[in-house]
Amino acid sequence: MKKGKEKKQPKQPLTPNKAFKAVLPVLVCIVLFIVIGITLVIIGNNKGNNPKVTSPDDTYLQFGNYRVTREEMYETLRKDYGLTEVIRQIDELIFKDEVNQVNIDSEKYVKFLNDKFFSESKTDDDKKKAWNELLDSAVISATITKADADAAKDKFDDTTTAAWVKLANSYKLEYAREQWAIKQFLANYRIEKGLEAGADVISEDEIKNEYKNTYGENATNGGKNAIAIVIPFTSEEAAKKLMASYGINTEVLGTYTDGWVKSTFDEKGTEKPKETDYFTEDEIMKIFCDMYNEVLGYYTGSDIITSEKYTLEYDAVKTLAKMKKVLNVKMQSYATVKQNIDLPTTIQLSDVSKTANIKWVQKIKDGDETKEVEIPNGKLEVVVPEEGSSTSINLSATISFADDEENHVSVSYSIVVKPEAEEITEPFETTLTAESGNNWTFSLNNEMGNEHSKFVWSYDDTTDLGKYVLKTLKLGTYPGAYTIKPTSLSSSSSSNKYYYLIIKVGNEDGKTLEELHDKIKEDLTKALYSANYSLERYYFEERAKHNIVFYDHYLERLYQFAYETCYQTLKVTDFAEYKLNKKKSKTVVAKIDELSITADDLFASLETKYSSIYATSSINRYQILKDNVLYNPWTNKINKKYVNKAVKADVNSVKNYFALDYFANYYGYYYFRVSPYNFDSSYGWDNFIKDYYGVSEEKDLLLLSSVFGSQGRIYADSLRTYRNKVITYDIINEQIKKRNNPDKLYDVDVLNVVIYVDYDYDGTPDTKISASNTEDVTEENWSAEQIQLAYKLAEIFMTKEDLIENGEDGKEKTRYEKLEEMVKIYNQASCRTNTDESNEALTNLFAEFKKAGLFVKLEKSTFDQCDSLVDEFHEAMHKMWAVAKESEEGLTETHNMLYDVVESGKYAFSSPYGYHAVVVTDFRQPVDAPTADEFELYRAMAIVEANRETIESVTKSLDSDNVKSNKTLRESYNAELNLAKAEITKYLEIAQKYATDIVDENYKMSDTLKKKIDKWVESVDDVDGSTDPDIEKNTSSLVITSLLNDLLVELDKDNIKFASTFNKDQLRLYINNLIESYNEEK
């Protein structure tokens, strides 16, 4: 394949104004049969050198003037699906022994099928849906019968049905071929690595390293699941208020990073917090447990983390650390002395279970040396210096237990001796008391007590919260194991706006190497051959060994592209060059050894699988094109002048790039969506458009629904005409009347206070059972008490606005400003009442709702009956709009309408999102419908404006040096310019028929009328986008379902004649499935 040179960006081809998106129906096949769009052969037999079917001119399909021959049918199917089918038949022969050895009931093969069928299905309902869709596509492709599908419906896990057995057999080739290639790959890998035949390709060291990196010490959190207590809050202020209630000094959270400081610490002093000012590990653990229970205990009606959920085990090291802290506090009272001291000699635990001894030594300087002199019984003799001077005594204390010499702790002190020191009059304490240090072991899991509690975080958790627990917090380090201040994990892309207090309290034991050994070995082995094309190369090599030869030169180009792509992807440079076959055959498409696949053989297999798709696509396309008068091969009508300009505008520039080998490399795909892109200029332009697009003449490209990444100009024009016939003013107006009936109509500005629950703390409301979702949701997330509290909270938000003070300028705030302030206060409120608060009344009102786990957010929106909202919201808004419309009193920023006007005594209604306390601040009357003339004017002027944009773009391109220096491009752009001008003239004449004023070349539709029709068009939810005449918009499902329904009518009338081998029942099933799928989308 030739290497591409750096090229200039080509003129984008076939863009009449702004091209339609493709609309011809394509079967969306599930799992087994991947179907791509069909590019249709549209006229005559293509004379060429490729093999032909017998009786090529026999009629295969006849519908009015539209006639499809066997040759045309074959050419289209062979072009789109031929290579896949040829390779399947060849590989069935090559791998027949391997295929015969596959046991469709084996555990390994059934797993293979389940992975294929249900790889994206998580639930049984998902699997059931995927299975039923698979059955439909398998019937259409004739893999199973309709009776097979009916008998197996919903039975996705039944491997005994006829449908499952037939599908299983259809996959045997893929499975057998893959297993064979894996063996070849591993055999070659052993040779490359110098291993003996049959030896393990993965060493024990590799398995150990993988375990270490993925599941062991180098993995996140050492490959262990973390146990953590996570407490969420709606705001940082709410978290701080609760912390303060537990005696934590929240004023210094950002100042001191050594841990939580007690509220008794006064920062106004100059000293930093002492050891005694910090909470101990045991105290911190207890606070976390208590705070968690206070915030989340509502859901079970009692504490979640009880004393039964953790054990305290005595720890000598932690105990000695506590003893050291006690001794430090005592020695602070001896900082300055003037008398002998009885130092503490023992520290006993408060439960008197253990006593530690303190050994004292005095450090005395003797020349250059320092001597350590033991102080017997802790009795320190002090020599007081003369007045005005001082001395220092340096001491060292070692705390240890008599029965545990390994664990001890040492600490040094310096005592200043001054005559001016205060006399110690209190008795000396020689025995101190300390609390024991403990290891906290928690028995927490995600199923205990409260279904919404999460304590265990999987080592491979990739959520923001999971990563914080696993990576940021360090178990057993203080304060590293917990968040000192409330932490937000929100980001610009995250809906999680909560704050958290978190402590990591343990790890679950990870799986051992022995447990994971076989899995790691299997995973590492798979990784060797999982890269793209690692196995495919063996298929190519095996086919070459069996002397694969193509006589169909188009299919051979496709095969060559796949062959070269395989090795290039693998970065293999010494592969055998694929040599194109120059020999010809009139009947044989491809062969290996004793197998020859003829055009008739290929046609027969393609017809069985794809004839329904072809018939539907081809007849639909004919229905769109059959009345056009620009170029109609079925009526022999042609506007030669127009066609010549269109070919020059849309085709000649592409032909120019083909000659420059753009289609021989990635540029062919990037600019023109041609794939594979290995058609160099030597292939010949005529051969290319015949083989790739199925046309014999360039003008036929104008009729294609998909060509060079766009649509043929005449096809686009015909599609617009067809669409305008289907989607008429009357149809749209009828849709609008349905939408605008008195039971649905509304248009309002709304303030929506959403009261919701969010147990998983992902920032979005958890689903509530409501009228619109009872078929889909069976488990209620709301308790009866929460429901009552939601109504109560809604009433507070709607009736307590007087508690919000006016603005600084004394002006009364708007309803939105008041609600915004109330929501802010709510989110900052604690779950405790507290009289020492600003906004005390509201804060205390909100406490019980916060404790019940109710969340609140405010939304400001404009809604009408066409918006995508749940039914409950539509119904409530319509009722409120109707009341507002009948009221003589207008709505203002301060005078609004509450929900209780439609349901007395209630200030909120429920939906799947929770409860909505709504305020309507403004409303509008329904949009007046335009007249039919105004609508047709709107359609015409949309096309005029699109062509004006084309002229502006083309004119700019004509001034570029690239175009000025290329005659073909100049002619192409000038032809497009002329066509756009002609379109403008044509549609301005049409516009004049409907306009009430004079239409000249500069005419523009009034903004008022355009906005009016825009609004009218937007209100048609059922034909979304289809009424907008801008041809950039996608054709609606109404057009496609109209085509399909017309096709069914013609079938019923027997107006379409098929070859005897065609399966009409298969066609009907396919059409009905398409209609159903489009109706679901709509």
Residue 494: pLDDT band (50, 70, 90) is low
pLDDT, greater one: 963 or 397: 397
Q: Cα 666 to chain center, whole Å?
A: 29
Task: Please report, for the chain, the start and end positions of each structural domain, with discontinuous segments joined by +.
Answer: 217-314+440-507, 316-436, 741-923, 930-1035
By the 10 Å C-beta count (0-12 exposed, 13-18 middle, 19+ buried), 1048 is classed as middle
Q: Where are the alpha helices (DSSP H) in 171-230?
A: 172-192, 204-210
pLDDT at residue 449 greater than cutoff 60 = no
Other beta carbons less than 10 A from residue 845's beta carbon: 20
Residue 743: pLDDT band (50, 70, 90) is confident
Q: Where are the alpha helices (DSSP H) in 509-639?
A: 513-529, 536-545, 553-569, 599-625
DSSP per residue, 719-749: HHHHHHHHS-HHHHHHHHHHHTSTTT--EEE
Torsion of CA 164, 169, 174, 178, to 10 degrees: 100
Give the separation between CA 977 and CA 990, rounded to whole angstroms. 20
pLDDT at residue 1029 greater than cutoff 50 = no
Residue 894: pLDDT band (50, 70, 90) is low
Residue 389: pLDDT band (50, 70, 90) is very high
Q: Please write down the HEC assignment for all residues of 77-88.
A: HHHHHHHHHHHH
Which run of H or E residues covers position 832? none
Give the separation between CA 897 and CA 973, rounded to whole angstroms. 59
Which run of H or E residues covers position 860? strand 855-864
Q: Please write down the HEC assignment for all residues of 334-391.
A: CCEECCCEECCCEEEECCCCCEEEEEEEEEEEECCEEEEEECHHHEECCCCCCCCCCE
Supply the pLDDT for residue 46. Answer: 42
- pLDDT tens, residue by residue, 630-689: 999 999 999 999 999 999 999 998 999 899 998 888 888 888 888 877 888 998 999 999
Mean pLDDT of the region 451-471: 86
Q: Are 224 and 510 in contact (CB under 8 A)?
A: yes
For 311, half-sphere exposure in the C-beta direction (CA atoms, 13 angstrom radius) is 5
Give the separation between CA 782 and CA 762, rounded to whole angstroms. 17
Region of residue 314 (left: phi > 0; alpha: psi -120 to 50; beta: else): beta
Q: Are 380 and 413 in contact (CB under 8 A)?
A: no
Supply the pLDDT for residue 724. Answer: 86
pLDDT at residue 22 greater than cutoff 50 = no
Q: Helix 599-625 to helix 1064-1081 angle, to the nearest 10 degrees?
A: 50
N-terminal to C-terminal alpha carbon distance within the chain: 45
Which run of H or E residues covers position 60? strand 59-63
% of the chain residues with pLDDT over 90: 55
pLDDT, greater one: 746 or 927: 746
Give the separation between CA 919 and CA 877, rounded to whole angstroms. 10
Mean pLDDT of the region 283-287: 94
Give the separation between CA 595 and CA 598, rounded to whole angstroms. 10
Q: Are 25 and 1074 in contact (CB under 8 A)?
A: yes
Mean pLDDT of the region 500-528: 93
pLDDT, greater one: 81 or 405: 81
Give the separation between CA 59 and CA 505, rounded to whole angstroms. 78
Supply the pLDDT for residue 1030. Answer: 33
- pLDDT tens, residue by residue, 865-877: 777 888 899 999 9
**Lowest-pLDDT range of 99-113, 134-148, 440-454, 660-674:** 440-454
Q: Are 262 and 249 in contact (CB under 8 A)?
A: yes
Region of residue 523 (left: phi > 0; alpha: psi -120 to 50; beta: else): alpha
Q: What is the DSSP letter of 407?
A: E
Give the separation between CA 207 and CA 874, rounded to whole angstroms. 59
Supply the pLDDT for residue 843. Answer: 72
Q: Is the dihedral of CA 681, 682, 686, 691 positive or negative?
A: negative
Supply the pLDDT for residue 1023. Answer: 37
User: Which residues are within 8 A (CB) of 1005 and not within 5 positions of it... i.e. 6 or more apart?
Assistant: 937, 938, 941
